[in-house]
Structure 1
Amino acid sequence: MQNFYTFHFLLSHHFSQFQSNISSKSLSIILTRSLSSLKPLPIYLSGSFEDLRAENSYYLDKTHFIPKIEALHARIILSLRPHYFGKTLFLTTLSSYYDVKNSKRFKQLFQDLYIGKNPTLLASKFLILKFNFSGLHTDGSYKTFEANFYKILNSNMYYFMSRYEQELGKYHFQIHKKDALANFRDLLNVVVLSSKKLYIFIDEYDSSMNTVLKNQLLRQDLSIYHKIKEKAKIKLMENLFKQLFSMLKTACDKSIARIFLTGVIPCFNISEDLTLQKEFWDLYEFKKSEIEFLLDKIFGNSLLDNTKKEKCYG
């Protein structure tokens, strides 16, 4: 009995060059092989680098970009791409690389990758604070938005304090204030007192801004200009982000922290934008040669030979 292995490539334009090498117009490449002739094919759908490595999934090495990013000498890095381009995976790759907690298992995570063979001086040197705004609700009132915003900040800061209790020592404190921005200010002060280095990673930083206009209640608020209360609601929502990013910028200016953000659109002019620099254009997606490399790793040279024959005779 033969087994079929199917790779579904979402967003076909990412792979248009590779698709030109095969006759099928489908978004899938269906390959027939006997089960005994292939090693196990783990496919992990998470954006977590550490989970992917633990599952022994196939990973296309992009870690050679890490020294290039460091060479920019920028405190705030912005990396923009559409959804499903691999931003989260690269962000978690960076956070794992710089995390002081991974110093003892650095070899386990990176030994076969470019950066494992060519580590920079900043490897495993930072306390890592991560925020992900992709789940920030914008489908309700401002009160709901504010509560959700504070919850995301506080839960991640609570995890940070728990994870780095040993590193922070006597400066460690419990996250207990309802005001997440006040907690964040206290956290930055603690990092300064402890003389530790902080790296902040923010995934989907613009998520709420991209979806806010889809919210009917908020659209109504925007359209009713004569209602001062409703105008103030939108202003307050905007101010939450302005306060947070103002604190982030100050922390970077004082060399307290470094920041790496991912998103779709530029919203704050405070960062070095990788999107505008040609040397980082290949950071995300797959090039034709990279897809061929991955498929060769999985199925061997016979796959590429077959696709070339199909191009010639199909």
Structure 2
Amino acid sequence: MKKLPIGIQSFEKIRTDNYYYVDKTYFIKKLIDEGGGYYFLSRPRRFGKSLFLDTLRYAFLGKRELFKGLYLEGNWDWDTKYPVIKISFGAGVIKDAENLKSLIISLIRNYSEKEGITIKEELLNKQFYELIEKLSVKYAQKVVVLIDEYDKPILDRIEDREKAIEIREELKNFYSVLKDADEFLKFVFITGVSKFNKVSIFSGLNQLNDITLDAEYSTICGYTQHDLETVFFDRLEGVNLDEVRRWYNGYSWLGESVYNPFDILLYLDKGEFRPYWFETGTPTFLIKLLAEKRFNIIEAEHLEVSEKVLGSFDIDAIYPENLLFQTGYLTIKDKKVINDRAIYTLSYPNREVKISFNDYFLSYLSQDTILTEKNKNRLFYAIDENDFNKLKEIFRSFFASIPFDWYRKNELAGYEGYYSSIVYAYFVASGFNVVAEDTTDAGRIDLTVLYKDRAYIIEFKVVELSSEGKALQQIKEKRYYEKYVGKVKDVYLIGVEFSKSDRNIVGFEWEKAENRG
């Protein structure tokens, strides 16, 4: 049985040491057939961007022996070899602009020494230009430039605005060489997690072709369902493929949905459903931004954004919606065009991300992991036992665990959205099937929880904004429960009232709906 290439970024090692390999070389031929040029691709972390760049590198170097049995073996000009510069900013953490300059100078020096080229220029961007020009002259061929994690130096310092701007300007200076050295360049491919505004990073590089949302390249990184079932077929005996799909599939860039490779490889290795990808990075900055922007986390279930918001951002204009998408916590579920404007619907890609993200949101709010975990366990038992007295006390415990300072700093605490988002996050993080903003012909239910043969219809109100007792009354007056009567055995109506001044629940009513199905 072949080995799983967990954590391996080297195409050469995978092909020579008998590892599994999902063939993406068709895309290399497609890129060249379309005329080559300058390409940009944004994908979340651990999606195979580095491995794809490494595959590109060996193709242009003419290493035919590494492509045996792959699509490109019989569809490439192996007699023509090109000099390749591959630069990665993925390793380590960039502290400031000077640290970045030192790193780039070191990378250029290593390439020049390896190629026996003397670099005479002193300025960093001039050194990069000189390296490209002299490589082209030495090999009598145009140069291929591959840049991996182009944005990581900025993201490393995104919370320190001044340093982030200094690093951005240094990178802008460095990347400007690609425009000036056009006559010496055969092919350029740039990858990253985020998509910064082109003017702020790649000023003047007008020919940069962004294939991030090109449906024809939607599966350039990641594993399709077909990839999973064919390449790894010998590891799937006894595996529930529907459950694997529910846990890990669902990432979409306007084409066929894909799995994150890191998840699949670790799942096949461990045989256990866990948030493998989520655990490799914590979205602290993103959660802070959500709090700062008063973002209602329930909206992440069904978030509509314009192409302008989704497209790119800069240090001075960072949107939660944009970061949620580019970092992989939300993905595209639908696209529609209204009055010549593209509108994208975003949502969680899968069970892993939905549960884990909400769990992290709770941990950030309460800052008491042990209490949060206890509350999640108690919530499960309360619902499992259908014990509404326990449920009321657990709801009170949710809000009692949140530090007063958080209430003081966030105006959102005065509205239903804040309170309902906490309850929603607890149910989701506990693994329940939750429908937020559940649509009926009479309006929207704040929250519906489905468990076994039961449905719980939950409505939230803030007493300072409405009369007490109105939450349950609204469910009954608008007959929200009718959506589930006859579809499940039992339907329960729960009205929850909060007080901004008390910072907790002041009303909790429930009753069982008559099932006429």
Structure 1 residues 124, 48: closer, same or farther in 2, change over 3 A? farther
Partner secondary structure for residue 91 of structure 1: helix
1:303 to 237, 249, 255: 237
What aligned pairs does 1:43-58 form with structure 2 within 5 A after superposition? 43-58=5-20
Distance in 1, matches of 2:242 and 2:177, equals 58
TM-score by length of structure 2 reads 0.41
Distance in 1, matches of 2:190 and 2:79, equals 19
Q: How big is the shift at 1:284?
A: 1.2
1:85 and 2:41 matched: no
2:129 to 156, 172, 185: 185
1:272 to 201, 209, 232: 209
Show the counterpart of 2:99: 148
Show the counterpart of 1:98: 60
What aligned pairs does 1:73-222 form with structure 2 within 5 A after superposition? 73-99=35-61, 103=62, 106-119=63-76, 121=77, 125-135=81-91, 137-139=93-95, 145-165=96-116, 172-173=117-118, 175=119, 179-194=123-138, 195-214=140-159, 218-219=160-161, 221=162
> RMSD across aligned C-alpha pairs, in angstroms?
2.9
Q: How big is the shift at 1:239?
A: 2.3
Partner secondary structure for residue 213 of structure 1: coil
Distance in 2, matches of 1:83 and 1:278, equals 20
User: Of Structure 1 and Structure 2, which has the larger fraction of its residues in helix?
Assistant: 1
Structure 1 residues 150, 107: closer, same or farther in 2, change over 3 A? same
CA contact under 8 A between 1:131 and 1:152: conserved in structure 2? no
Structure 1 residues 186, 303: closer, same or farther in 2, change over 3 A? same
Structure 1 residues 152, 122: closer, same or farther in 2, change over 3 A? farther
1:247 and 2:177 matched: yes
Q: How big is the shift at 1:309?
A: 11
Q: How big is the shift at 1:158?
A: 2.6
Distance in 2, matches of 1:158 and 1:146, equals 18
Distance in 2, matches of 1:146 and 1:307, equals 49
Show the counterpart of 1:35: none
Show the counterpart of 2:228: 291
Distance in 2, matches of 1:212 and 1:307, equals 42
CA contact under 8 A between 1:80 and 1:275: conserved in structure 2? yes
Q: How big is the shift at 1:116?
A: 0.7
Distance in 2, matches of 1:110 and 1:186, equals 32
Partner secondary structure for residue 64 of structure 1: helix
Structure 1 residues 67, 203: closer, same or farther in 2, change over 3 A? same
Distance in 1, matches of 2:46 and 2:126, equals 34
Q: How big is the shift at 1:146?
A: 2.9
Structure 1 residues 146, 123: closer, same or farther in 2, change over 3 A? farther
Partner secondary structure for residue 130 of structure 1: strand
Distance in 1, matches of 2:92 and 2:227, equals 34
Structure of higher RCO (CA pairs closer than 8 Å, 6+ residues apart): 1
Distance in 1, matches of 2:216 and 2:100, equals 35
CA contact under 8 A between 1:76 and 1:258: conserved in structure 2? yes
Letter in 2 for 1:282: T
Structure 1 residues 122, 247: closer, same or farther in 2, change over 3 A? farther
Distance in 1, matches of 2:168 and 2:18, equals 42
**Identity in percent:** 25
CA contact under 8 A between 1:80 and 1:265: conserved in structure 2? yes
CA contact under 8 A between 1:146 and 1:237: conserved in structure 2? yes
Partner secondary structure for residue 58 of structure 1: coil
CA contact under 8 A between 1:275 and 1:281: conserved in structure 2? yes
TM-score by length of structure 1 reads 0.66
Distance in 1, matches of 2:22 and 2:90, equals 24
Show the counterpart of 2:3: 41
Distance in 1, matches of 2:108 and 2:80, equals 20
Q: How big is the shift at 1:79?
A: 1.1
Distance in 1, matches of 2:145 and 2:175, equals 12
CA contact under 8 A between 1:133 and 1:208: conserved in structure 2? yes
Distance in 2, matches of 1:210 and 1:125, equals 35
Q: How big is the shift at 1:74?
A: 4.2
What aligned pairs does 1:19-34 form with structure 2 within 5 A after superposition? none
- Structure number with bigger Rg: 2
Q: How big is the shift at 1:66?
A: 1.0
Structure 1 residues 123, 248: closer, same or farther in 2, change over 3 A? farther
CA contact under 8 A between 1:110 and 1:116: conserved in structure 2? yes
Aligned pairs, number: 235
Show the counterpart of 1:15: none
Structure 1 residues 192, 129: closer, same or farther in 2, change over 3 A? closer
Q: How big is the shift at 1:180?
A: 2.9
